Chains A and B, each alone.
Chain A
Amino acid sequence: MNLRDLLSPFFVWQRAFEKPYTSIRPTIDRPGAPAYRGFHINVSEECVGCGSCHSICQNHAIDMVPVAEFEGRTGDSGLRPRFDYGRCCWCGLCVDICTAASLRMSNEYAWISEDPDEFHFTAGIDDKPWQNNEHGYRRAEGYHLYPPKRIEMEMLSPDVSVQSFEEVARGYSEAQAKLEADRCVECGICVATCPAHMDVPDYIHSIRDGDYEKGLQLMYRTNPFPATCGRICTRRCESVCPVGILGEPVAIRWLKRFIVDQVDAQDYQRILNDQIIESGHRVAIIGAGPGGLSAAYYLRKKGHAVTVFEAGETAGGMLRYGVPSYRLPDADLDKDIAYIVSLGVDIRYNTRIGKDIEFEQLLQDYDAVFLSTGLSVPSNMRIQGEDHARVLSGLQVLADVASGRDPGIGRQVAVIGGGNVAMDAARVSRRLGADVTILYRRRIADMPADAEEIHESQEEGCNIVPQAIPVEITTADNPQQVSIKWGEAEMVQDPKGGRPRPVLQEDRMHTDTYDCIISAIGQGSDLDFLSKENQQQLAIEWGKFTPGEYQQSALQKVFVGGDVANRTADAISAIEDGHHAARGIERLLNPDEFTTTQTDNTGELT
């Protein structure tokens, strides 16, 4: 024992004069660290109710519960997370996975309540003292629990794509599709948003499993045009995909295409295994577009004898004549149609109602009629001189090209309009070797065309002149040409809060000369085959039907659908109209067996 060891411990007394670690009044609150994982905050306005928090919670501490004020919103499940603090372990994975970054935590340490039910609450809905707390755990910038960026689709480069009508989007490889399918959080908001309510999360799941046959079966339950929709769908699903709130939405359309591309057309019969038991009923369908053929498919599955009357030479309607083959190759459209026809659907080509057969005759001969004639008449620009021989309609140009005819557009082309038909006409013209100028009356951001189509047409060298209003079409010096007088427009705010209106500036007028002008400002219906009496009975307004329940018209036997009966006028809506009308016709023909939840021969809901 040495003396130092005896004395040294007495050093403790020195500490008696130091500031103590503990506070004299322990009741003084010390705020939690700025990133402390305290109690949950949900900014309900930003939340879309995707339920990823619920999926990732290992304790099942989160339930998704309906909240009235958010129900029925587009792109919102109407559900909000409800927390059970008897289960929560404050790991914060729910905050990390939140697709909208609406879920956060406060930096509160303690919460005292005498009521145990208080600890079971809907964050952001039930009032809690920490709801507006500025600090607390947030997901850090650059930290992701799913890949925020989508797998790029390989595209033909613009200088190559304008050389031919070859498909621009090349399709995913299996590895790419699996990576893209991995990004889905399986919320199902897409299902609610899709007009046809396709079972998106499940068919994406089938890609992850590599079970493409199951994926095909799932798609045919709600859509007999998967090869088509996998290419040209307006994909409202992607616009609401919660993965797109902070990153890029899951490429649902390309994944759908991937599944179809994996399955050989010869195997459809075996995979889909549609067993048909003849019912003895006969149904007539007018128009072999997506709406008509969708109805034909689902009616045929119910065993009804289906006859489709088509005015043109081939089936497909606007998909055939309106969508150029660089977006939708004929072979893929034919893959969809061929399967529908293979179930025994009788298509009468070159048969125009009102000319070759009377509408009244159909009503007499068939148990039900589904009418989906589409919009085939180009709208007028309502300006002077538009009947000039060098003014062509966008639809006509597209139809000519689709049928292998030369539309005779020349080298210098102006396209009027900002919709998909205008973009298609412009891009087709580029492929025919023309220089293309697109005149649109509003801003590029206001164009109704798909953003992707606008982008691609610019890439391919189409010159878009926004805020340009056509005023007059005049004869040019060269009879093979035509001149257009157009004026620049200023956007003026609508005092009523509507979208801004373009106002012509009389002092800034231009006159340009082109080999032809392609007008693509919209299209209307041609319902002349209906008698005046029928037209009145069917309550047609502005050339469109207003269908009732199950697409039924005012005439009990007549069901309507497709572009001629809906406002969205896209393929997927037409497909759903056809499916829905098929349910309606089934209800009409077999009222006793009809239930709102029907199952097919595998026991699956249809």
Chain B
Amino acid sequence: MTLSTGHSAALDFAQPEPPDLSSGKYVKLWQGPQHPGITGNMSLELVLDGDTIVSCKTHVGYLHRGFEKLMERRTFIQNFTVVCRIAVPEPTFNEYLYSHAVEEISGIEVPERAIWLRTMNLEMMRLASFLMWIGGQSGAFGQYTVPNWTLAYRDYVLDLFEEMTGARIYHMYIVPGGVRAGLPDGFEERARKIMKGAEKLLDQIERVMFNNVVFKARSKGLGIITPDMVDPYGIVGPNARACGLARDIRKDEPYLAYDRLDFETISGNEPDAYGRAYLRLQETRQSINLIRQCLDHAPTDGPFQADMPNVLHWKVPAGETYVKAECTRGEYGYYMVTDGSEFVRRVHVRGPSYTHAIAVMERLAVGTNIADIAGLMVSLHTYPPEIER
């Protein structure tokens, strides 16, 4: 197998010898499943030598809700109200990918207006998710001012979601065939105002959080992902881009209206927690820019939904597809198989946290200080709910 980075031979995937716990030299410590430093319900089984982690084992399974199975028992229209719950902070990507998979199998062409509204919706979602993440990263290193700012400001973005979609968290806006409504009156003006405020906030955060001696001291050099790790581990999104790889599905394989938006893939050259954080700050700004472009270009009239069959007895033809989109953490994918009945045969949801929070975390944790483990985990930007579905 050839890997684009070409360094895989140097990586050692062998399981290290387990530390001899009976030697009295080590302490075994569980972080999670209930722990504020963990990004959701999962746990890290840590073995410490003093303050230093010598082994880390990740455990998931606390958040398994069986969505993929639930979907096999619901009709195609009912499922779009279920999928948003798979990843709480980024429900919209699930709505989009589910709808897109169904549309692709049944050959439904989504109208232009819906394409733009979907793009804007996804970028708004990225913005809201990044705002929450910035707060998390700052808080994980003990700085609690920034979380207060960003989580409060995220609510303004949620206000926009509420106006646009009728709900703050589980929007259920992107529906197979298009979207559920156009933009309400005055939305553009309010959105632009909130974008302006967000930009100002990000400048302030840069001064307070990034140009900060403590943050730098704790995050620089923490959790270095080398380019040769990227392909073997399946690392995607900002985690991969921070080590210099310009990989962004929005640019490489454009979907929705991304091929008509003016933006460049952002990549960095500092593959540590600081570099990743700074890259995400830039991507947050990029999202604001893209939302503005969507506001400029989105058609204000015309259909926002394709002609649909009666959803009460909608049978999607037999087929299979894999669809993907660039969420804040990287490639988010849906694999769908249909058998021509009123129900989906199988859906597999693959979020980027699957590798980031399990395999990558186990590797990066070794050798770090126990105090930095929460910061490291947040710097990988993981969502346990999407690992387990």
Q: Say yes or no: B312 contacts A146, CB within 8 Å.
A: yes
A4 in contact with B211 given A93-B77, A147-B308, A147-B309 (CB within 8 Å): yes
8 Å CB interface, B174-199 against A:
178, 180-182, 184
- Residue pair A8, B162 in contact (C-beta under 8 Å): no
A33 proximity list for chain B (CB < 8 A): 159, 162-163, 166, 184
Q: How far is the CA of A208 from the CA of B309 in the complex (A)?
A: 12
Q: A37 interface residue, CB < 8 Å from B?
A: yes
Q: Are A35 and B181 in contact (CB under 8 A)?
A: yes
Give the contact stretch, choosing among A119-127, A178-186, A342-350. Answer: A178-186
Known: A5-B211, A142-B304. A37 touches B309 (CB 8 A): no
Most A Cβ at <10 Å: residue of B75, B172, B216: B172
Asked if B167 and A90 make an inter-chain contact with CB atoms under 8 angstroms apart, the answer reads yes
Which A residues, 49 to 94, have Cβ-Cβ distances below 8 Å to chain B? 52, 55-56, 58, 89-93
Interface contact A12-B166, CB-CB below 8 Å: no
With contacts A58-B81, A91-B81, A140-B182 taken as known, whether A97 is within 8 angstroms of B208 at the C-beta atoms is: no
Q: Least Cβ distance of B323 to chain A in Å?
A: 22
Q: With A52-B312, A140-B181, A143-B305 as given contacts, are A21 and B166 in contact (CB-CB < 8 Å)?
A: no
Contact with B along A1-34 (1 / 0, CB 8 A): 1001110110110110000011000000000111
Select one of A6, A8, A185 contacting B310, CB under 8 A. Answer: A185
Asked if B311 and A145 sit within 8 Å, CB to CB, the answer is yes
On chain A, the residues within 8 Å of B253 by CB distance are none
The reply to whether B212 and A5 contact each other, CB–CB distance below 8 Å, is yes
* Known A1-B213, A143-B305, A182-B313: A92·B77 in contact at CB below 8 Å: no
Majority SS at the chain A contact face: loop
- Which residues of the partner chain A approach B303 to less than 8 Å between Cβ atoms? 142
Known: A11-B204, A146-B308, A182-B313. A92 touches B213 (CB 8 A): no
- Flag if A56 contacts B152 (CB, 8 Å): no
- Counting CB contacts under 8 A, is A96 at the interface? yes
Chain B interface, DSSP helix/strand/loop, else mixed? helix
Q: Which residue of A lies closest to B146 (CB)?
A: A12
> Which of chain A's residues has its CB closest to B203's CB?
A11
Interface residues as binary, A133-145 with B (CB distance below 8 Å gives 1, 0 otherwise): 0000100101111
Inter-chain contacts of B312 with A (CB < 8 A): 52, 55-56, 97, 145-146, 185-186
Cα-based distance from A340 to B23 in the complex (angstroms): 96
Once bound together, how far apart are the Cα atoms of A148 and B311, in whole Å? 12
- With both beta carbons as reference points, the residue of chain B lying nearest to A205 in the complex is identified as B313
Q: Mark B293-309, 1 if CB is under 8 A from A, else 0.
A: 00000000001110111
Q: A12-B145, A34-B163, A184-B310 are in contact. Are A93 and B304 (CB under 8 A)?
A: no
Q: Please indicate the chain B residues that have their CB under 8 angstroms from the CB of A268 in the complex.
A: none
- Give min CB distance, A14 to chain B, whole Å: 8
* A319 CA / B155 CA spacing, docked (Å): 70
Assess the A8–B313 pair: CB atoms within 8 A: no
CA separation between A5 and B155, bound complex, in Å? Answer: 29
Per-position contact with A for B65-88: 1 when CB-CB < 8 Å, else 0?
Answer: 000000000110110011000000
Does any Cβ of A come within 8 Å of B207's Cβ?
yes
Within 8 A of A (CB), among B100-136: none
A541–chain B nearest beta-carbon distance, Å: 47
Q: Residue A130 at the B interface, CB < 8 A?
A: no
CB distance from A179 to the nearest CB of B (A): 8
Residues of B within 8 A of A137 (CB): 166
B152 and A182 contact, CB distance less than 8 A: no
A4-B211, A36-B166 known; A58+B216 contact, CB < 8 A: no
Assess the A142–B212 pair: CB atoms within 8 A: no
**Interface positions of B from 44 to 94, Cβ below 8 Å from A:** 74-75, 77-78, 81-82
Q: Is the CB of A145 within 8 A of B310?
A: yes
Asked if B322 CB lies within 8 Å of chain A CBs, one says no
B208–A143 touching, CB < 8 Å: no
Interface, chain A (partner B; CB < 8 A)? 1, 4-6, 8-9, 11-12, 14-15, 21-22, 32-37, 52, 55-56, 58, 89-93, 96-97, 105, 137, 140, 142-147, 179, 182-186, 208
Q: List 12 A-B contacts (CB under 8 A).
A: A1-B213, A33-B163, A37-B166, A56-B77, A56-B78, A58-B75, A140-B181, A140-B182, A140-B304, A143-B180, A147-B309, A182-B310
